[in-house]
Amino acid sequence: MNIQTQIDLGKLRCVRTHATLTLQNGMLSHGYTHYQKTVPVIFKDEKTSAELDAEGSEMAAEYAKPNLYQRIRKVLYKDYNARAYDRIFAELIAKNDASKVLLSIGGGPLRRAPHITNVNIGPYPNVDLVCDAHELCYHDETVDAIHCDAVLEHLHTPIKAVQEMFRVLKIGGKVLSVVPFMQSYHGYPHHYQNYTITGHELLYRSNGFTVLASGACQGPVFAMTVLCSRFCSLYFPPVLNVLFGRGLLLIGLALRPLDRLLENHPNRYVLASSTFVLAQKTSHSE
């Protein structure tokens, strides 16, 4: 469901007063604006908006039009997500239709499904709604499903964000969450924490959700090859980095398909690059 329809149906709310947001002469009520007349920007105050926009400068640079090297790297740099995760994503998000409110928290620059609403802290490419994940601008129980990939590690209070997901989801609604585990620091807007599979599950379970499934998303081969290459790029002199760091990347490209062979290994999660959790809201918000 697109943003215009969501506003027309009264699903969005003011994050200050919790009143329903409406369009008045093409402008959002309660003083909110549209970026380039198309993307609603809904923050609690101007300070929050300015801080988040400043923190997102590196993200904006990454979201800029990729050069030829970046495009080639993207093709080669396949991460071999676990097929269990891919199946859940397809059923929960990709196969849903325009009658559903499907949010991607931190979504963009890619649109991972035709009818998904990309929510982010800045108006980057393919972002449909700008707001803070700690204060979602949706009324209670108005969202059908949520995808949250590589976002919680960048939030200073991830518990608050998970509580917000719980609040806005309908009864029976699900969230598919992915967070890094064996990954290096990547600091935009900030990088506060990584999660073990146990911690990832607990984050949702302790905030009202029922965990339906969990596991490694990107596997141990991906984790080890990327970390070794990153080690070389950070701590080796440039000449040695070219020899060893780039060499490890090439070796990694050849080895990463082995993660598919480890998909059912009982200890895959122990060295996974990232983990996923599928959680469901089974009771009303308090």
Count of residues in the chain: 286
Return d(Cα 277, Cα 269) in angstroms, integer: 12
DSSP letter string over the chain?
--HHHHHHTT-BB-TTT-PBP-EETTEEGGG-EEETTTEEEE-SSHHHHHHHHHHTHHHHHHHSPP-HHHHHHHHH------HHHHHHHIIIIIT--TTS-EEEET--SS--STTEEEEESS--TT--EEE-TTS--B-TT-EEEEEEES-GGG-S-HHHHHHHHHHHEEEEEEEEEEEESS-----SS-------HHHHHHHHHTTTEEEEEEEESS-HHHHHHHHHHHHHHHHS-HHHIIIIIHHHHHHHHHHTTHHHHTTT-TTGGGG-SEEEEEEEE-S---
pTM of the model: 0.90
The tokens describing 179, both together, are: 């967070």
Q: Tens of pLDDT along the chain (286 residues)?
A: 999 999 999 999 999 999 999 998 878 999 898 887 789 999 887 656 556 555 555 555 555 555 554 555 555 556 789 999 999 999 999 888 889 999 999 998 888 898 999 999 888 889 999 999 999 999 999 999 999 999 999 999 999 999 999 999 999 999 999 999 999 998 766 899 999 999 999 999 999 999 999 999 999 999 998 898 888 888 988 888 777 777 777 777 788 888 988 998 999 999 999 999 999 999 887 6
Return d(Cα 129, Cα 144) in angstroms, integer: 17
CATH 3.40.50.150 assigned to 41-66+83-219+272-281: yes
Spell out the residues 6+ positions from residue 32 whose beta carbon is closer than 8 angstroms to its own.
14, 21, 40, 41, 42
pLDDT of amino acid 74: 59
Return d(Cα 129, Cα 117) in angstroms, integer: 7
Sorted by where each begins, the domain ranges of the chain are 41-66+83-219+272-281
pLDDT of amino acid 284: 80
Contact 45, 61 (CB under 8 A): no
Q: What angle do CA 59, 63, 65 make, to 5 degrees?
A: 150
pLDDT of amino acid 78: 67
Does the N-terminal peptide bond of residue 114 adopt cis geometry, omega within 30 degrees of 0? no
